[in-house]
Amino acid sequence: MATTIGLFNREVVGHAMAEHLRADLVCDAVELAHRRGLVQPEPVFHSDRGSRYTSADFRATLTRLRMRASMGRLGSCYGPWRSRSSPA
C-alpha cells in the first residue's frame, strides 16, 4: 500500500494498493490525490530517497501533475524523539 499524506492536517489524500512496491504504485497514489482535487495548485511532494521516488516514471508523473519534488538529505533520519545533537 502507498499513501499520499497532506502535511496541513496529516490526512490521507491518495492511496493505492498492489502486490508490488514499484514506482507505478506510488504514481497511482499521487494521481488519485490529484484527481480527487485534494492537493493545492503546484504542490511540493516530499519523500525519502527511495528508488520509487527517484525513478524516471515518478518524476514524469510529478511533472505532468505540476508538482515539485522535494527529498530529505542523505542520512537525515531524525525524528521528533531524537535531537540532532544526541549521539546516534
Answer yes or no: are the C-beta atoms of 44 and 67 closer than 8 Å. Answer: yes
- Residue 86, domain member (yes or no): no
- Which residues lie closer than 8 Å to 73 by C-beta, 6 or more apart? none
- Residue 76, domain member (yes or no): no
Lowest-pLDDT range of 4-8, 17-21, 31-35, 82-86 = 82-86
**Structurally, how many domains does the chain consist of?**
1
Q: What is the pLDDT of residues 9-22, one digit of tens each?
A: 888 989 999 998 89
For residue 30, give its domain range: 2-71
- Residue 48, domain member (yes or no): yes
Q: What is the pLDDT of residues 47-87, one digit of tens each?
A: 878 788 889 999 999 999 998 888 876 655 555 544 455 45
